[in-house]
Amino acid sequence: MSLGFGLRNLMLVAGGTGGHILPAIAFGDWVRREKPDVEVNYVSGSRPVELEIYRASNIEPFVLDASGSPLGISGLRSLKRWMELPRGFFQTNRLMKRIKPDICIMFGGYVSIPALILGRLKGIRSALHEQNALAGRVTRMAARLGVPIASGWKKCEPLPSEKHTVVGVPFRHLGQIPAKEARRLIGIGEDDVKGPVVSVMTGSLGSESLVGILTALSARESFSLWHFYVLDPGVEKPAKVGHGVTKIPQMWDVSPFYAASDLLFTRGGASTLAEVEALGKPAIVAPWRGAKDDHQMKNALCVSDSKKIRIWDERNDTLQDLEEKLLGLHTNFLRKNGDSANLLYNAGDASATSCRRLWDYVIGLFEEEN
């Protein structure tokens, strides 16, 4: 698609957690590859985990003095964050004056608020990508202000279908790597593996409750030879925490972690679910029921039609239910189709398709204006 209005500077705003940041990075990488004449600028909040995610991709974003949303908390923390907002507006305004973005695409979260409002006041072409099946506060605000919404899934509740356009969720590059090499890279020796390997994604903030559930599960006779490897931001080296359960230090290139596994076990973050769906590996999704407005369960329901994905609800389902779901996936897919851990995979086409759809949607909107 041509760039009739002369797009040269693109501003991507994403902060908070990996769920917002990773799609922005994936989209920005795609733009740099496919549209080399376009300069990509990133805007982030100031949380350490945000900067860690960006720097893992060799990106130095413009950092706002914003440490989180002032909503949903109380006391001094809330007051501090409300006081950060004016400075966030000042910093965003200064950045917009300097880089003069032709388009600003926001990826949700508190860090998008200044760009959303200033973009409307300044007449900057703006759009917002919502990763979750439930629109966040900023997304709902953007819709009320008339900002175009691109969604990751067919549902973007409570917005009606005519208020959002489905493009999919861009996700990080997943390279091809043999299972044996992948296991070596994350510290799993071949002598350590005597049964199925399950890679467990708990989200960028970790989940001790999920670790406890897996520890209890692995103690059952049915799982005596199974191995659960849990990505955990709280450990610096592999740490065994129970029979068959080992914590692995956080990694932002998850290609080896996915490739090392026979099955996947994950929370319901939108970016991770997009990766899981594209990979086509059998997976259990255990949505975090403490997520705002239960959006992880709504995300999970968007992929529940897949024969290889099962939802396990820790609020209502039992450990026996989890056992049956895992054993069922193992029987129906791995034993029938062979050892999937030896397969090579590359889900890049799915991510590239989402990036291209987002690009075409946004550019198409603003070319129509001209």
Determine the pLDDT at residue 67.
Answer: 64
Q: Is residue 4, in this structure, part of any structural domain at all?
A: no
Half-sphere exposure of 89 (CA within 13 A, CB side): 12
Q: Among the listed ranges 34-48, 83-97, 305-319, 351-365, which one has the minimum average pLDDT value? A: 83-97
pLDDT of 16: 85
Task: Let me know if residue 271 belongs to a domain.
Answer: yes
Residue 72's pLDDT band (cuts 50, 70, 90)? low
Owning domain of residue 316: 179-346
pLDDT tens profile 107-118: 988 899 999 999
**Is residue 261 domain-shared with residue 291, that is, in the same domain?**
yes
Are 345 and 279 a contacting pair, CB within 8 Å?
A: yes
Burial of 22 (0-12, 13-18, 19+ CB in 10 A): buried
Residues 238 and 161 in one domain: no
Using the predicted structure, report yes or no on whether residue 339 has a pLDDT greater than 50.
no
pLDDT digits (tens, 9 = 90+) for 225-258: 999 999 988 888 888 888 889 998 888 888 899 9
118 and 230 within one domain: no
Average pLDDT over residues 205-229: 89
pLDDT for residue 334 is more than 80: no
Q: What is the pLDDT of residue 341?
A: 39
pLDDT above 90 for 264: yes
Average pLDDT over residues 99-106: 96
- Model pTM score: 0.89
d(C-alpha 148, C-alpha 139), whole Å = 10
DSSP state of 61: P
Domain count of the fold of the chain: 2
- Length of the chain equals 370
What are the two backbone dihedrals, phi and then psi, of residue 240, each rounded to the nearest 5 degrees?
-80, 125
CB-based contact 257:343 (threshold 8 Å): no
Asked whether residue 227 is assigned to any structural domain, the reply reads yes
Considering the domain architecture, whether residues 193 and 342 belong to the same structural domain is answered as yes
Whether 289 shows a pLDDT value over 70: the answer reads yes
- Residues 308 and 362 placed together within one structural domain of the fold: no
Query: Residue 52 corresponds to which tokens in the numbers above?
Result: 């860690």
Alpha carbon distance 130, 145 (integer Å): 15
Helices and strands, number each (H, E), in the chain: 13, 14
Domain of residue 193, CATH code: 3.40.50.2000
